[in-house]
Chains A and B, each alone.
Chain A
Amino acid sequence: MRARRRRKPASYGFGFLDENAKKELRRALLKAVAIPGHQVPYASREMPIARGFGTGGLQVTLALLGDDDTVKVIDQGSDVSVNAANLRKFFALVCPGVQETTRTTEATVIQTRHRIPEQRLRDDQILVFQVPYPDALVVVEPNAAKRREMHGAANYARLWTKLYEDMVAFDEITISHRYPTRIARHYVIDPSPIPRWDVPKLHMADCLYLFGAGREKRIYAVPPHTPAEPLSFSDVPFRVEDFNDEHGHRRACAHCGATDTFLDELLGADGTKAYQCSDIDHCTQTAKAEPCERSSKSAA
């Protein structure tokens, strides 16, 4: 990601943002990496896609991309879902020279909404998250100034209380996604609306995870080889989504047969349900690699 010449696509500059904006973003990113899990405020710019559609992730990606990069965009694990397609179209317009891919292994920068790819990312890859709520404490404290103090003091008592109250009311922690996760044993982050399934992937990863919240104007990071621990009690372990059927058998993907991936539940018009991998690239590769196994599985 070296410094690069300015190119000219139509009337907008390379990377859309003006150079000072990109410089500011890179500074915020460096600070975020230096203080894992700390939310760094930055002057988020308005983007030509709406707030809430990934403007935070988009600004981070634009500040990173150079013409030697290969970018992948996923939304709900899919490269062709409407928002991913729209963002990819935007990159093609304002970042000429940048390669596009749908293959996880080929990408240097992956922008994602709501998923971490199933395949473990390498140390030369960056995953950029689109973040609606950057602060895990917002569920217990609406005031931002107070939340900042609580983070500074690593005071997460009210989050623990919320988890405890869940146990009392439901005998189960009800947080489904955006699971509060403690980074490097200090700051608790909102890991963006990824399912609990993806949270363990944050722990001691090889790749760099960057989080951009455009509307809320915060950037934070989970650097490689950093502990990331979902909040849990010693007698109530953290649990990921359960994909077992009523008989306790792990459901398999109807397309590739995988039994170790996060599955989308698809409803048919006739009331039937089918299950398929949400990570489309992983599913496609698995199906290609194991066609025989798949046919035997679907026959079973």
Chain B
Amino acid sequence: MSYVAVRGGAEAIAQSNRLLDALRALGGDSAAIEIDVIERQMPILHGRVLSEGGLYHPTLAALALKQSLGDPLEAAFMLRAYRSTQPRLATTPTHETNGMRLIRRISAAFKDIPGGQMLGPTPDYLQRLFRFDLIEEEPQTFRDIARGWLGNLPDAALPTSFPKVVDALRGEGLLPQAEPCDGEPFDITRAPLVFPVPRSASLATMARGETGGLLALAYSNMRGYGDVHPTVGELRVGYLPIKLPHPVTGELIEAGEVLMTECEIIAMYEDTGTSDKPVFTLGYGACFGHNEVKAIAMAILDRSMQAGLTHGPRNPSEDPEFVLLHVDGIESMGFCTHYKMPHYITFQSDLDRLRTTQSKHQAREKETTDAR
């Protein structure tokens, strides 16, 4: 029996890392994928990594995807780990999304909305059929797609600002007035979640939550473990200019823009136990990148958790602790993979308990048989 083989440590890791890297290069003589190709041609995946990584760094997000062989969980994890080395420099003021440079904007609540519906790029009405010609796409044909699109753009400039659908409903007294948010937002990167947590902590946790995790919990509410029954008041995708205080003057300056998805869902009014006028209720979701499923799921969970706070959680999606501690991809994926590590000691302990319990069981059986 080999003593050394059980403890193969450092060398095994080194070889495993080499092999993982070799996986990228083996089996073909094609060139290494370029960072900006990932960013441009897989923008949805790339946006997901930005969002779940919780750091808007497009170049590093693309590099993370390249390094992780396209695993979005691993890639988001790399961004997060990098973020731990960076200090917090400033807090932005609250950003209104009216001034977002939109690429898409829809409402399921009204046929016509101020500023109009704008379908934009969406796979929603795509027939999910293969376009086999894309298996071998000629460079020229590929370039012609963009040229053809840009050549046919209408001259009419789009408005730079679109009013929000929910503002119109607020004006009519159908939705609660927005609460002023002058306090410092809860920074989940600098303070742990100790329940109950403010809504800003909840929204921040979901904004970098894992898409699939948020979707699963929101779906449980949609199916019947809850009753949000949302109407998408507005869903917008676009570039939001980010304003930061100037380090010297403190004056707000535009530091750049981030691609993001925002969703407001409207749900039915509910008995609040007060004499206030009944109004619809709202759920809010927003995240980096173009990720509509995530924004909608987040908005539904925001609504369900607020309902849970009003009358106590009646199902998992209404329990903030249940939702917020289980939607982070970095944490859940890490803990899931850790089971692959050696657990010799704990298993030895388990064996000891089972064997002792078994021998006692056996002794009792024998006693019973003897007594007969």
Q: Which residues of A contact B (CB under 8 A)?
A: 12-13, 16-21, 24, 41-48, 50-53, 55, 75-86, 88-89, 113-115, 132, 143-145, 148, 170-172, 174-178, 193-197, 215, 217-218, 241-242, 255, 262-266, 268, 272, 274, 276, 278, 280
Contacts and interface: CB of A to CB of B under 8 A. Distances in A.
Given A43-B191, A51-B335, A193-B345, A145 B7 contact: no
B10 to A, nearest CB: 4
B164 interface: no
Contacts of B22: none
A196 B345 CA distance: 10
Name, among A82, A178, A193, the residue most crowded by chain B CB atoms within 10 Å (CB to CB).
A82
A215 B195 contact: no
B87 interface: yes
B346 interface: yes
Name, among A45, A88, A175, A178, the residue most crowded by chain B CB atoms within 10 Å (CB to CB).
A45
Main SS class of interface, A: loop
19 contacts: A20-B87, A42-B192, A46-B77, A46-B81, A51-B333, A51-B334, A52-B335, A52-B337, A55-B334, A77-B345, A80-B10, A114-B343, A171-B360, A174-B353, A178-B346, A215-B331, A241-B349, A241-B352, A255-B3
Interface in B80-104: 80-81, 83-88
A195 B5 CA distance: 23
Given A52-B338, A78-B7, A174 B345 contact: no
A83 B349 contact: no
Please list the 4 inter-chain residue pairs (A to B) with the smallest Cβ-Cβ separation, ordered nearest first: A51-B334, A52-B338, A80-B9, A50-B334
A172 B345 contact: no
Contact of A145 (B12, B86, B196, B331): B196
A276 B4 CA distance: 12
Contacts of B8: 80, 82
B87 A280 contact: no
Given A52-B335, A82-B341, A280 B353 contact: no
Contacts of A83: 341-342
B87 A176 contact: no
B350 interface: yes
A176 B353 contact: yes
A267 to B, nearest CB: 8
